[in-house]
Amino acid sequence: MLQLVIGNKNFSSWSLRPWLLLKQAGLPFDEIPIKLRQPDTTAQILRYSPSGKVPALLDGDLTVWDSLAICEYVAELAAVRGVALWPADPKVRAEARSVSAEMHSGFPALRQHMSMEVAAFHPDVEKHPDALKDAERVAGLWVSCRQRFADAGPFLFGAFSVADAMYAPVAFRFHTYGVDLPPLAMAYRDALLSLPAMREWASGARAEADGKA
Ligand SMILES: N[C@@H](CCC(=O)N[C@@H](CS)C(=O)NCC(=O)O)C(=O)O
């Protein structure tokens, strides 16, 4: 059985990505939740993850850490079971990898000034201009994908892929902070938010915020 070490559902955006991908792939796994921002957080994480960060995926004696590496491994496990989590066409797949890598290494202002807080809703809070610049780039990228791949399905490259898992926390952020989006980007945001797995994550986040988890 796979085990995924994750942080708080309310604010661990990196944990959400592989968690959602595993759910979408239909691969069963157990969660090992670790409370972040506690005095013993690092010690708890280091029991599983050599980087001292979550997420980490445990598969028998194998540990995979860092969200994108986990997503790649999950995609390989899913492929063996006939579930594709990357586009089949090599050129489209290269673009999906670029889009995913840009999320993994980029958008620092969006991360800093619009941090994920799933259970919160404060659309009227003043938005940092640099975060809005990052949001504009994300929205442009979403629109460009949706314009070209709409016929193949509701996600960035049609069918759900690693790229969608990488942007899932941004959908929560855009909702929490009430970021205005062009119609195609808003529809994509809502497609992500309405996934049963995203609703499940959000209800876990709300339970945490209410002190029930
Ligand atoms: N590049 C890493 C980033 C992971 C990361 O920064 N995780 C945060 C939580 S979202 C963490 O574990 N922080 C350690 C802590 O809060 O003590 C990845 O993609 O997985």
Ligand 1 proximity of 7 Cβ (cutoff 6 Å): yes
Six token digits for residue 77: 């496990």
Q: What is the CATH number of domain 2-83?
A: 3.40.30.10
Q: Give Cα separations from 89 to 92, 96, 174, 191 (angstroms).
A: 5, 10, 30, 23
Q: Is 32 helix (H, G, I), strand (E, B) or coil?
A: strand
Six token digits for residue 14: 């990196």
Q: What's the pLDDT tens digit per position in 126-142? A: 999 999 999 999 999 99
Q: What's the pLDDT tens digit per position in 23-71? A: 999 999 999 999 999 999 999 999 999 999 999 999 999 999 999 999 9
Ligand 1, residue 12: give the atom nearest the CA. 10
Residue 60 makes CB contacts below 8 A (sequence gap 6+) with none
Distance 161 CA to ligand 1 centre (A): 22
Q: What is the CATH number of domain 90-197?
A: 1.20.1050.10
Domain boundaries, the chain: 2-83, 90-197
pTM metric for this prediction: 0.98
